Amino acid sequence: MDLAGHAQNAACLGRLNQIAAANQGARDMMRRLVFGAIAAPVLFRPAWSQGQPPQGRTTEPPRQSDVPPSRVPQPTMEGRSAAATEGQQGDQMLAAMAMALASAQLGTRSAADEGVKLFAQLELEEQMAFAEARRLAGLSAPAPNMLTAQQQQSLGALRAQSGAAFDRMFVSVQTEGHQELLRLNRGTAERPPGREEAMLATVAIPAIRSHLTMLAGMQRALPAPS
């Protein structure tokens, strides 16, 4: 590696160390945001939802069973299509998170470059924090059985590498995974299926962008294949 490459690597490692120092604070903020999303509907719901009718109101809204069948709203084709799309995006999000977590675990064990290994540790901690945040919010958390066949194949290819070849493939896999996570979180932020998903996507997007910048720096700094 030439002097310019060493300088880039040192700068990237310094940036990673700064993020590592702030990582605990970021996870604490994420937990506060999620707890706020969960607690807000309970703390600030109207009094009538707790069994106390508002002042001046003596009648109850009609129950679903009291509404004539012809007036009960039926799901439209557009609504069913949107629900199917949201479900598909949710599955893709969980698969992408599971891939980021599994590849980060490999990186902590097999990376040769110090900066790559540190990034893998940060990514592992971040993905574990997001998985915990999803569980706290009552959402599904990523699991190994959610990986697609293509993702499992990519992990197998990554396991077969070692040394500098592993580092280069790890950075490539993580870059592709972060690009997918960015696309999915942007979609969730634009059309969130719920309050919790919207808050998690809002927190995730800037973090993913920062990671993509670091991955680009590492890719430039790593030695080219001989």
Count of domains in the chain?
A: 1
| Domain coverage including residue 122 | 3-33+85-221
In a domain, 123, yes or no: yes
In a domain, 175, yes or no: yes
Q: How many residues does the chain have?
A: 226
Quickly count helices (H) and strands (E) in the chain: 6, 0
| CB-neighbour burial class of residue 41 (10 A; exposed 0-12, middle 13-18, buried 19+) | exposed
Q: Read off the CATH number of the domain in which 105 is found.
A: 1.20.1260.10
Q: Band the pLDDT of 40: cuts 50, 70, 90.
A: very low
> What is the average pLDDT value for the chain, to the nearest integer?
79
Q: For 15-33, how does the pLDDT look when each residue is reduced to its tens digit (9 = 90+)?
A: 565 555 545 554 554 555 5
DSSP code string of 53-118: PPTT--SPPPPGGGS-GGGS----HHHHHHHHHHHHHHHHHHHHHHHHHHHHHHHHHH--SHHHHH
